[in-house]
Amino acid sequence: RREQAGDGVLPLTMNYRSRPEVLAVVNHLFGADFGDEFQPLAASGDFPDPVFGAPVELLVTDKSTYSETDVHWRRGEARAIARRIRDLIAAGDAAPGEIVLLFAAGTDAEWYEEELRALGVTTYRSTGRGYFGQQQVVDLLAYLRLLRNRYDDEALVSVLASPFVGISNDGLVLLRRAAPKRPLFVALERELPATFPERDAQLLRAFRQRYDRLTAALARLSLERLCERIISEHDYDLAVLARWDGRRRYANLRKLARLARSYEELRGPDVEGFVRFVRDQEAVGARELEAVAEEEGGDAVRLLTIHAAKGLEFKVVVVADAGRDKAPPASHEILALSDGRFGFRVADPITSKPRGAYAYDAVQEARREEDRAERLRLYYVAMTRAIDRLIISGSIDPERTADDTTPIGWVLGRLDAKEEIERAGAEPVELEREGARVILRVDRFATEPEVTVESFPEDGQLALFDEGGVAGALPPLVPALQPLVEIAAPPVHRVRRLSFSALALFERCSYRYYAERVVGMRPTDERSAVPGTPGLAATEIGDAVHRLLELVSLEEPIPPDDLAARVRAWYPRVTDDELERIGGFVRSYCDSELARRVAALPGARPERPFAFEHDGVLLHGRLDVLQLEHEQAVVVDYKTNSLSEGTPEEIVEHDYRLQRLVYALACFRAGAQEVEVVYHFLERPDAVVSTVFRLDQVSDLEGELSEAIARINAGAFRPTPSEFICAGCPALDVICAGPRLRSASYAEHALATV
Ligand code: SF4
**Coil, helix or strand for 689?**
strand
Backbone CA torsion sign across 655, 659, 661, 667: negative
- The atom number, within ligand 1, closest to the CA of 730 reads 6
* pLDDT given for residue 153 in this prediction: 92
What is the overall mean pLDDT for the chain? 82
Min mean pLDDT across 172-176, 208-212, 317-321, 447-451 is at 447-451
Question: Does the structure show a pLDDT above 70 at 2?
Answer: no
CA of 733, closest atom in ligand 1? 1
Residue 410 shares a structural domain with residue 372:
yes
- For the segment 469-478, what is each residue's pLDDT rounded down to a tens digit? 444 555 556 6
- pLDDT for residue 209 is more than 70: yes
User: Among 624, 622, 626, which residue's Cα sits nearest to residue 634?
Assistant: 626
Report the pLDDT value the prediction gives residue 293, as an integer from 0 to 100: 45
Domain presence at residue 660: no
Task: Verify that 120 and 155 share a domain, yes or no.
Answer: no
Same domain, 155 and 228: yes
> Could you tell me if 225 and 140 lie in one domain?
yes
Q: What CATH number is associated with residue 281?
A: 1.10.486.10
CB 499 within 8 A of CB 700: no
Ligand 1 mean position to 731 CA, how many Å?
A: 6
Q: Are residues 98 and 160 in the same domain?
A: no
pLDDT at 472: 53
CATH code for position 403? 3.40.50.300
User: From atom 4 of ligand 1, which residue's Cα is the shortest distance away?
Assistant: 738
29 neighbors 414 (Cβ within 8 angstroms): yes
pLDDT at position 148, please?
Answer: 87
Between CA 145 and CA 164 the distance in angstroms is 14
Of the listed ranges 213-222, 360-369, 504-513, 696-705, the least confidently predicted one is 360-369
745 in any annotated domain: no
pLDDT of residue 752: 43
366: pLDDT confidence band, cut at 50, 70 and 90?
A: confident
- What is residue 330's predicted lDDT score, i.e. its pLDDT? 60
Give the distance (Å) from ligand 1 centre to CA of residue 736.
6
The share of the chain scoring above pLDDT 90, in percent, equals: 25
Gap from CA of 662 to ligand 1 centroid (Å): 25
**For atom 3 of ligand 1, which residue has the closest CA?**
721
The residue nearest atom 7 of ligand 1, judged by CA position, is 726
181 located within any domain: yes
- Percentage of the chain surpassing pLDDT 70? 84
Residue 511, domain member (yes or no): no
Which CA distances in Å does 269 have to 141, 264, 279, 618? 15, 5, 17, 63
Give per-residue pLDDT as tens, 635-671. Answer: 999 998 888 778 899 888 888 888 899 999 999 988 8
More confident residue, 753 or 147: 147
- CA of 732, closest atom in ligand 1: 1
Look at ligand 1, atom 5, and give the residue with the nearest C-alpha.
512
**Residue 425 in this model has a pLDDT that exceeds 60:** yes
Are 116 and 137 in a shared domain? Answer: no
Q: Kindly indicate the confidence band of residue 230, based on its pLDDT and cuts at 50, 70 and 90.
A: very high
Q: Are residues 282 and 335 in the same domain?
A: no
Is residue 713 domain-resident?
no
Q: Do 139 and 120 fall within a single domain?
A: no
Query: How far is CA 287 from each of CA 128, 282, 308, 427, rounded to the nearest angstrom?
Result: 12, 9, 11, 43
pLDDT above 80 (res 528) = no
Distance 510 CA to ligand 1 centre (A): 8
Kindly tell me if the per-residue pLDDT of 10 is higher than 80: no
Cα(513) to centroid of ligand 1, in Å? 9
Report ipTM (2 d.p.).
Answer: 0.98
Pair 172, 316 in one domain:
no
3-state secondary structure at position 461? coil
Residue ending a domain, choose from 227, 259, 288: 288
Q: Which of 506, 508, 509 to mutate to test the pocket of ligand 1 (most atoms within 8 A of CB)?
A: 509
* Ligand 1 atom nearest residue 738's Cα: 1
CA 508 / ligand 1 centre spacing (Å): 9
**Domain identity same for 60 and 113:** yes
Determine, yes or no, domain membership for 470.
no
Q: Assess whether pLDDT exceeds 90 at residue 418.
A: no
**The pLDDT of residue 11:** 64
Residue 489 lies in a domain: no
- Predicted local confidence at residue 393, as pLDDT: 94
Of 133-137, 355-359, 518-522, 681-685, the least confident? 355-359
Which range, 236-240, 662-666, 722-726, is most confident? 662-666
DSSP class per residue in 353-374 = -EEEEETHHHHHHHHHHHHHHH
Q: Looking at the predicted structure, is the pLDDT value of residue 455 above 60? A: no
Q: Whose CA is closest to 713, among 510, 522, 515?
A: 510
Q: Is the pLDDT of residue 526 over 60?
A: no
pLDDT at 462 over 80: no
Residue 594, SS3 per DSSP:
helix
pLDDT at 212: 92
Domain count, the chain: 3
What is each CA distance from 569 to 519, 544, 565, 573, in whole angstroms? 34, 11, 6, 9
Among 519, 521, 725, 742, the mutation site with the greatest number of ligand 1 atoms within 8 A of its Cβ is: 725
* Domain interval for residue 429: 14-127+299-443
Quick: pLDDT tens for 310-322: 888 889 999 999 9
Model confidence band, residue 452 (pLDDT cutoffs 50, 70, 90): low
Please report, in angstroms and rounded to a whole number, the separation of the first and last CA atoms in the chain: 70
Dump pLDDT digits (tens) for 271-286: 888 988 888 876 665 5
In a domain, 642, yes or no: no
pLDDT digits (tens, 9 = 90+) for 575-611: 888 899 999 999 999 999 999 999 998 888 898 888 8
Residues with a CB atom less than 6 Å from ligand 1: 509, 511-512, 515, 719-721, 725-726, 729, 731-732, 736, 738
Does one domain contain both 436 and 556?
no
Same domain (yes/no): 389, 414: yes
